[in-house]
Amino acid sequence: MTRYSRDRVISSVLFVPAVFSSILLFVMVIVLFWKSEAILSTKPLVDLLLSSSWRPVAGNFGYLPFIMGTIWVTALAMILAIPISLLSAIYLSEYAPPRIRDTIQPVIDLLSGIPSVIFGLFGILLIIPLIKNSVAPLLGINSSGYCILAGGLVLAIMVFPILISLSFEVFQTVPREMREAALGLGATNWEAVKHVVLKKTYPGVIAVIILGFSRAFGETMAVLMVVGNVARVPSSVFDPAYPLPALIANNYGEMMSIPLYDSALMFAALLLLAIVVIFNLMAQYVLMILRKVE
């Protein structure tokens, strides 16, 4: 077999998993839509998305509390996680001595491998009592501690490792010569970071943030343990919430006993998938615009 023939065979073999991974998303969407067809055929889509009433026994399936709960918890987690993670990655990449860097990085990698239920227990044992007994009373608010703030804090801690590790790798792609050139022109270390490293890598940083959002949107176990799981549209971070992943995880075993419950939970999964896909498409579009401007 000639070298050209071997390359064609290898290319064909590698083509199969590449196409499979691309088709998998469409298969998931089709299956979830098929399973959701029962509730979509009996309830108008606008009513499902904008109704706040979730009483499956009475046939009321309003998804607004779960959509808003997902958005509240995820947005709060990313607001907390992004600045801390980027600053940590900048320190490890640009300021930390090799000994400190070699000590901290394995700990961050270890943190990313901890099961989510452990983070949930950590939230129950430490974060919830802190919110209930200290933070909420300090602000004159009565809270059980099981609220959006607890879910956001736990989720932010879970997202830290992936954001820090990936951001660090992105910053390391900047050639050392570019930093040295900036320093040679009289820039301080921070000015070199701001005008060289961050300017060169901001498309990659945005991609990292997209991955962090995708991870946060779908997190289930830790969040459902601390967020309260009350099907009500929240109005503050001290209110309980009920994100879509928690809805699916908590109720999947009960779906056979109530009409349309099966289809309702499948539609919740379809909504979650749609939110993640839409967000990623919007972020990719913004990233494409930024690259053109650059």
Give yes or no for a contact between 174 and 161, defined as CB atoms under 8 angstroms apart: no
Structure tokens at 36: 């959701």
113-161 pLDDT per residue, tens: 888 888 889 999 999 999 999 988 888 888 888 999 999 999 999 888 8
pTM (two decimals): 0.83
**C-alpha dihedral (13, 18, 23, 24), degrees to nearest 10:** 100
* 185 or 54, greater pLDDT: 54
When pLDDT is averaged across residues 46-61 and rounded to a whole number, the result is 84
* Alpha carbon distance 193, 201 (integer Å): 10
pLDDT tens digits along 258-283: 778 888 888 888 888 888 888 777 77
Q: Which spans in 63-193 are helix H?
A: 64-90, 98-112, 116-122, 128-130, 136-138, 148-172, 176-184, 189-192
User: Which comes out higher in pLDDT, residue 288 or 231?
Assistant: 231
Q: What is the largest CA-CA distance in the chain?
A: 78
Domains of the chain and CATH, by start = 64-293 (1.10.3720.10)
